[in-house]
Structure 1
Amino acid sequence: MARSVYVTGTDRGDGRQVVELGVMELLTRRVDRVAVFRPLVHDGPDRMYELFRERYRLSQPPDSVFGMHYARASALQAEQGLDELVSRLVESYQRLAAEYDAVLVIGTDFAHTQLPDELGFNARLANEFGAFVLPVVGGKEQSAESVRSEAHNAYHAYAGRGCDVLAMIVNRVAPADRDLVQERLTGRVGVPVYVLPDEPSLSAPTVAQITHTLGGTVLLGDEAGLSRDALDFVFGGATLPNFLHALTPGCLVVTPGDRSDLVVGALAAHSAGAPAIAGVLLTLGERPDQGILQLAGQLAPGTPLVSVPGNSFPTATELFTLEGRLGAATPRKTETALGLFERWVNGPALLDRIRVAGSGRVTPMMFAHKLIEQARAHPRRVVLPEGTEERVLRAADVLLRRSVCALTLLGDPAVIRRKAADLGVDLEGAELLDPHDSELRGRFAREYAALRAHKGVTEELAHDVVADVNYFGTLMVRAGLADGMVSGAVHSTAATIRPAFEVIKTRPDAKLVSSAFFMCLADKVLVYADCAVNPDPDAEQLADIAIQSATTAAAFGVEPRIAMLSYSTGTSGSGADVDKVRQATELVRAERPDLLIEGPIQYDAAVEPSVAATKLPDSPVAGRATVLIFPDLNTGNNTYKAVQRSAGAVAVGPVLQGLRKPVNDLSRGALVEDIVNTVAITAIQAGQTAVSG
């Protein structure tokens, strides 16, 4: 039977969706078969289930997610009693739990449920399910003492009903009171207590939500703009100079549709980044003329301009009752919520208390989760030279919201801020540097000229070279102003790694710089090398690539079993190519007798147990290889791309090996997710370099 966690509360407004999301994230890190069960549900779409289904690629049948509608449950309880209702819900849960390793149970929502004792009902269901209970207490607009008292009472309410309380979560506490509430609750109840501060952006409605609720018409704006959070409302009625002083970051401007001066002024301020607004809401059903609309579209492309039929007062009344919602349509809120949960909740300790047995499989999602978790454990600073590229900005938004690492983005800060505003991404906390104007340019020019004097580089020439974002970023890493660098979304591999070869250079224990890909298959992660750097390594270089790749694999939780690939297995073939692989294998065995290695070996014998049983029955590597070393770049590059496309594998990398400090390259077709993963890997490598150094 699956382990399950029952997330519940005591009242409305506790923001427990943050906790539901955080627990789901934790469970999917440990096991690959996780289900969701909501015993009772209202009519209409379920936002949290849709979010879970999309984000975690849930395979469970939709009809197994929900036990019963509230109206049906109320009628059944009235007709046949509570025991019958509970019995049917338990039956639905047990059918689901029999098929999965872990189940997240989402308790009732304390809103229009018609349940006479809702807390008691949740407690009983949790006991019948054999689930751990994770109660969430809301602390919004409450004093520290009031929150402490409510949390204490909630714990005893569930524990007193025989529940196995996993921990207590106190959510939406005033940030200034968080530490005090944590201090007053730690050690005062029988389980760990985690206190989360209120995060305004989570409760802020998006422009899309506002538009839908008010029946608005979108005159201008794209999907990214409509997904922006409205963190504040500024009502336009003053003259333009006074109005501009009232604007706040992330505000939604609300003004009558005939105030073209305020529309143009607000969008011009947004374009200048002073400040970036969420959008403009036009009341009275009035619309600017076509000339103003064209100007507005040029001033701030993508920024929403929405017309609503009502006048300002009823519009304002409705706006102030709206609260933001987590869901598949609000990905930035999702990242913010996860960042909040991961910062204040000890996830590994919570998992240990749940006692969910780890899966023997490693899915791509589990691998990605582990990268984020490792990077967050020891934060580092990573420089991103392509600071004006859209995918890089979106990745930076995710990385900052999840507190994965500190970031430096290179480029003209005004351009970066304007693009970030147009995309609706938040770069708060990131350092923005322009290599052309930075005070570091002169220092780096002198350092680079000294390093490359033997190549005839003068300080005057170096002054131009170091203004290149990749050279500037690499010199930041060399100087210790950043711990690692990731580039390549719009630059070639050569442009990304050439500066590293020149100024960072190889580690003393490495003979060359090589690359490795993490190939995330459906049920395991393999390491492929070298697929990006060395065209035709000799035996000694091939041995070095194998040793480096084994070290890389182990650093990221992949137990290294090395297969030195060739077109023949064992002693069945001969020739220069096979002999090179055979010699490299012997060099690895001599230098690192602790490593498991086999070679020469064909790919099928390396990864398929049935083939290995025939070709190399006594090998500890054959059929179980995790690190696959290709004899040359042509073979490696084509194989990784073939597996990526044909088997649907997620290829993370290339990860560069052998440098003194980490610099990693991106594919120019990299997705936002790829950039996030590569930055996380770079941050982890930086931490390992610091320890080994």
Structure 2
Amino acid sequence: MLVPTAKSTGIFTASLGLVKALKDKGVNAALFRPFDCCKNVCACKDSYSVSFCDAVKQIAAGERTELLEKVVANFKRFLADTKADVVIAEGVVNDKLDQDKLNADVCHALDADIVVVNLGKCAKAKALNAVTLQAFGNSGKTRVVGNIILNRNAPKDAHGEKRLVLAGNGGEFTACCDNCAIDNIIADIPFDMYNYAVRAKDIADFIGGKVIAGDAEARGFRVVFDLKDKNKKHVLITETLPTEAESGIVILAKGIEGQLSNVNAVISSEQNVWDIAKTLARMPAQLAADDTARADKAAEFAAPYFDADALAALSKVDADRTPLMSPAAFRLKLTELARAAHKRIALPEGDEPRTVCAAAKVAASGIATPVLFGKKDKILAVAKEQGVTLGEGVQFVDPEEVRMNYVARLVELRKKKGLTEEQAIDMLKDNVVLGTMMLERNEVDGLVSGAVHTTANTIRPPLQIIKTAPNASLVSSVFFMLMPEQVYVFGDCAINPNPTPADLAEIAIQSADTAKTFGIDPRVAMVTYSTGTSGKGPDIDTVTEATRIAKEKRPDLNIDGPLQYDAAVMPNVAAQKAPGSTVAGKATVFIFPSLEVGNVVYKAVQRSADLVSIGPMLQGMRKPVNDLSRGALVDDIIYTIAITAIQATQE
């Protein structure tokens, strides 16, 4: 991903040039633009891109998550259609957005390496580079593969800012300081005015005018306008360096009519001449989708400036590269897998407001068929209060109408415990028990509860009725922790208080398989307060033995321990404490030595870092049942339903 360090960098010159340079070397490369220009700028509509306007609206509406999922979905379609071996993603340059934060989010979502696009190579440019990369977290330290210097000798305006488009009366271009402070430069692309020469029709669109004479495709790159001339009635935009003869594109101010000779195009505007000048000063260095001539020119110009060795390095797959599963990619994968599963999920807390809202969204998006327990009229009244619609994709179960259908079967299942018919009827008044019986009969595919019920209330009936899977020695739990750059799996944080070494090994194996099911590369860290052989004591012995058992039972899994948490996640700490470990510094699955530790850690991380935590997801059950936190948000419930639907497809 090409990441700009400033506004209006003309980044398309670098991205187009890099793609062409790679293609010239025989590499199947393609350019992906996560975002495109708004209609009032260049009428650019790429089917793989989200418009700037839509992006701004979604972020303002608090829908950043949905925006990033859309970008990932677009990228997957782009890859499928282009079948490119190397993709160059072009970072966004836009004053209306937090540019660095959004670029970092997109970079993480696409699991991209970083090439930084700088406007210079001096110490000042290096400082700006560092500020930009702060938004990228660990990726800004470990995933930067090179730097591009772009337009360092571009003209500057009266404020010392580089002006790539319609650059003013100008004189000589002022070069950036030649003292190079930036390392690993893969290209130093100078300014060329023709790369940023805009067409008459682009100018007309931007100022709200129209081309009334001449060639709408005529290009201009410099404003010729004397602010001291109070009688000036038009603005001249030249296509060549200014001469005594007027040429290029002329914009007629409000109220001025008539034709001009010796010009390539005439634009009429409803603005006065002063407002035209101010508007043109804000015109960004962007490329219209239909301006193929300028795109080809920019690519042809920039491609030769790329270093051959750098191009070769960018073309190769790094076998040692640690793949990341970003929150956006994870959420998208959840919804895609759940839609493909077509499962019915029981929701015993059917009239609980958050559950009703989640059910509406789940049904509308096709994630699953939610089955709401309760009186239909009451549930619909809650939906109306919450401002949501429960459409055809939602099903309802009235417990009073169906309860007696399950009495005999429940008595049969619990006969060894001496359960009577009267006791069974009383148990079935609990909707979780009723839902569990429907699950046992395969009338639903999974069950989600806990928005109101405690974990014990949710889990006890399935443990009594559904039991564990044939290949599982226990039931455990994991949380999916949606960190900014990577989704982690934490286990066990909800079920087993003091696991034995054999229990811990089973939890590690279950959690690794869960990670793999959901597309996360499982690198399992057996976490405790000591790394390797540096510590002694019974707690360390338990984790050491658990690691041995897990490796012996599943040699195909990447498991290591004992590891301290910092050694598990930080490459620099791992290099000191666990050199040679294939897990340390890049763990994705974390197995805690006890419920006390796991529960404290997951809540501390979730609340202190203000991140989404999905779970607990139960592992080892014969059929999928999942618990919710009583503080769960609507999105938490939606994704838990999706997880449950996916689990229902697994043996």
- TM-score, with normalisation over the residues of structure 1? 0.54
Q: Distance in 2 between matches of 1:623 and 1:519?
A: 17
- Do the aligned partners of residues 479 and 75 (structure 1) sit closer, same or farther apart at CA in structure 2, a change above 3 Å counting? same
Q: CA deviation at 1:122?
A: 7.6
Q: CA deviation at 1:572?
A: 1.3
Q: What value does the CA root-mean-square deviation take over the aligned residues?
A: 3.3
SS at match of 1:494: helix
Q: Is the 8 A contact 1:381 1:406 kept in 2?
A: yes
Q: Work out which of the residue numbers 632, 638, 643 in structure 1 matches 2:594.
A: 632
Q: Is 1:75 paired with 2:209?
A: yes
Match of residue 448 from structure 2: 486
Match of residue 434 from structure 1: 398
- Do the aligned partners of residues 615 and 436 (structure 1) sit closer, same or farther apart at CA in structure 2, a change above 3 Å counting? same
- Do the aligned partners of residues 600 and 47 (structure 1) sit closer, same or farther apart at CA in structure 2, a change above 3 Å counting? closer
Partner amino acid, structure 2, of 1:401: A
Q: CA deviation at 1:648?
A: 3.1
Match of residue 463 from structure 1: 425
Q: Work out which of the residue numbers 569, 578, 583 in structure 2 matches 1:621.
A: 583
1:229-272 per-residue CA deviation (whole Å, 9 max, x = no partner) reads xxxxxxxxxxxxxxxxxxxxxxxxxxxxxxxxxxxxxxxxxxxx
1:343-373 per-residue CA deviation (whole Å, 9 max, x = no partner) reads xxxxxxxxxxxxxxx9954332221111101
Q: Distance in 2 between matches of 1:422 and 1:664?
A: 27
- Do the aligned partners of residues 76 and 660 (structure 1) sit closer, same or farther apart at CA in structure 2, a change above 3 Å counting? same
Q: CA deviation at 1:461?
A: 1.1
1:617-672 per-residue CA deviation (whole Å, 9 max, x = no partner) reads 11111111111100001100111111112233321111100000100000011011
Match of residue 355 from structure 2: 392
Q: Distance in 1 between matches of 2:538 and 2:32?
A: 44
Q: CA deviation at 1:530?
A: 0.2
- Do the aligned partners of residues 125 and 402 (structure 1) sit closer, same or farther apart at CA in structure 2, a change above 3 Å counting? farther
Q: Is 1:607 paired with 2:569?
A: yes
Q: Is the 8 A contact 2:491 2:511 kept in 1?
A: yes
- Do the aligned partners of residues 645 and 87 (structure 1) sit closer, same or farther apart at CA in structure 2, a change above 3 Å counting? farther
Q: CA deviation at 1:423?
A: 2.4
Match of residue 371 from structure 2: 408
User: What aligned pairs does 1:260-275 form with structure 2 within 5 A after superposition?
Assistant: none
Q: Work out which of the residue numbers 473, 478, 490 in structure 2 matches 1:511.
A: 473
Q: CA deviation at 1:74?
A: 4.8
- Do the aligned partners of residues 569 and 457 (structure 1) sit closer, same or farther apart at CA in structure 2, a change above 3 Å counting? same
Partner amino acid, structure 2, of 1:620: T
Q: CA deviation at 1:125?
A: 3.7
Q: Distance in 2 between matches of 1:70 and 1:449?
A: 79
Partner amino acid, structure 1, of 2:40: L
Q: Distance in 2 between matches of 1:621 and 1:445?
A: 50
Match of residue 34 from structure 1: 34
Q: Work out which of the residue numbers 458, 482, 504 in structure 2 matches 1:496.
A: 458
Q: Distance in 2 between matches of 1:524 and 1:80?
A: 55
Q: Distance in 2 between matches of 1:475 and 1:70?
A: 68
Structure 1 unmatched ranges of 5 or more: 4-30, 89-113, 116-120, 131-357
User: What aligned pairs does 1:169-188 form with structure 2 within 5 A after superposition?
Assistant: none
SS at match of 1:571: coil
- TM-score, with normalisation over the residues of structure 2? 0.57
Partner amino acid, structure 2, of 1:124: D
Partner amino acid, structure 1, of 2:399: P
Q: CA deviation at 1:78?
A: 4.9
Match of residue 535 from structure 2: 573
Match of residue 586 from structure 1: 548
- Do the aligned partners of residues 613 and 78 (structure 1) sit closer, same or farther apart at CA in structure 2, a change above 3 Å counting? farther
Q: CA deviation at 1:38?
A: 1.3
Q: Is the 8 A contact 1:564 1:581 kept in 2?
A: yes
Q: Is 1:450 paired with 2:412?
A: yes
Q: Is the 8 A contact 1:40 1:69 kept in 2?
A: no
Partner amino acid, structure 2, of 1:35: F
Match of residue 362 from structure 1: 325
Partner amino acid, structure 1, of 2:437: L
Q: Work out which of the residue numbers 44, 63, 77 in structure 1 matches 2:95.
A: 63
Larger Rg: 2
Q: Is the 8 A contact 2:525 2:584 kept in 1?
A: yes
Partner amino acid, structure 2, of 1:37: C
Q: CA deviation at 1:385?
A: 0.7
- Do the aligned partners of residues 124 and 60 (structure 1) sit closer, same or farther apart at CA in structure 2, a change above 3 Å counting? closer
Q: Is the 8 A contact 2:41 2:205 kept in 1?
A: no
Q: Work out which of the residue numbers 529, 532, 538 in structure 1 matches 2:500.
A: 538
SS at match of 1:486: strand
Match of residue 377 from structure 1: 340
- Do the aligned partners of residues 585 and 658 (structure 1) sit closer, same or farther apart at CA in structure 2, a change above 3 Å counting? same
Q: Distance in 2 between matches of 1:513 and 1:675?
A: 21
Q: Is 1:654 paired with 2:619?
A: no
Q: CA deviation at 1:380?
A: 0.8
- Per residue, is there more helix in 1 or in 2? 1
Q: CA deviation at 1:41?
A: 5.5
Q: Distance in 2 between matches of 1:127 and 1:437?
A: 70
Match of residue 284 from structure 1: none
Q: CA deviation at 1:507?
A: 0.7
SS at match of 1:40: helix
User: What aligned pairs does 1:138-537 form with structure 2 within 5 A after superposition?
Assistant: 360-429=323-392, 430-438=394-402, 441-537=403-499
SS at match of 2:540: helix
SS at match of 1:83: coil
- Do the aligned partners of residues 33 and 48 (structure 1) sit closer, same or farther apart at CA in structure 2, a change above 3 Å counting? closer
- Do the aligned partners of residues 87 and 380 (structure 1) sit closer, same or farther apart at CA in structure 2, a change above 3 Å counting? farther
Q: Distance in 2 between matches of 1:569 and 1:585?
A: 13
Match of residue 597 from structure 1: 559
1:259-289 per-residue CA deviation (whole Å, 9 max, x = no partner) reads xxxxxxxxxxxxxxxxxxxxxxxxxxxxxxx
Q: Distance in 2 between matches of 1:38 and 1:546?
A: 49
Q: Distance in 2 between matches of 1:454 and 1:414?
A: 39
SS at match of 2:614: strand
Q: Is 1:673 paired with 2:635?
A: yes
Q: Distance in 2 between matches of 1:365 and 1:554?
A: 17
Identity %: 45
Q: Distance in 2 between matches of 1:589 and 1:51?
A: 46
Q: Is the 8 A contact 1:40 1:70 kept in 2?
A: no
Q: Distance in 2 between matches of 1:505 and 1:69?
A: 70
Q: Distance in 2 between matches of 1:128 and 1:535?
A: 65
Q: Distance in 2 between matches of 1:651 and 1:495?
A: 21
Q: Distance in 2 between matches of 1:586 and 1:362?
A: 27
Partner amino acid, structure 1, of 2:216: L
1:38-59 per-residue CA deviation (whole Å, 9 max, x = no partner) reads 15269xx956640255423679
- Do the aligned partners of residues 481 and 129 (structure 1) sit closer, same or farther apart at CA in structure 2, a change above 3 Å counting? farther
Match of residue 522 from structure 2: 560
Q: Is the 8 A contact 1:435 1:468 kept in 2?
A: no
Partner amino acid, structure 2, of 1:447: R
Q: Distance in 1 between matches of 2:214 and 2:574?
A: 61
- Do the aligned partners of residues 126 and 665 (structure 1) sit closer, same or farther apart at CA in structure 2, a change above 3 Å counting? farther
Q: CA deviation at 1:37?
A: 2.1
Q: Distance in 2 between matches of 1:635 and 1:681?
A: 25
Q: Distance in 2 between matches of 1:511 and 1:632?
A: 17
Q: Is the 8 A contact 2:204 2:211 kept in 1?
A: no
Q: Is the 8 A contact 2:479 2:490 kept in 1?
A: yes
- Do the aligned partners of residues 393 and 572 (structure 1) sit closer, same or farther apart at CA in structure 2, a change above 3 Å counting? same
SS at match of 2:389: coil
Q: Is the 8 A contact 1:36 1:49 kept in 2?
A: no
Q: CA deviation at 1:590?
A: 1.2
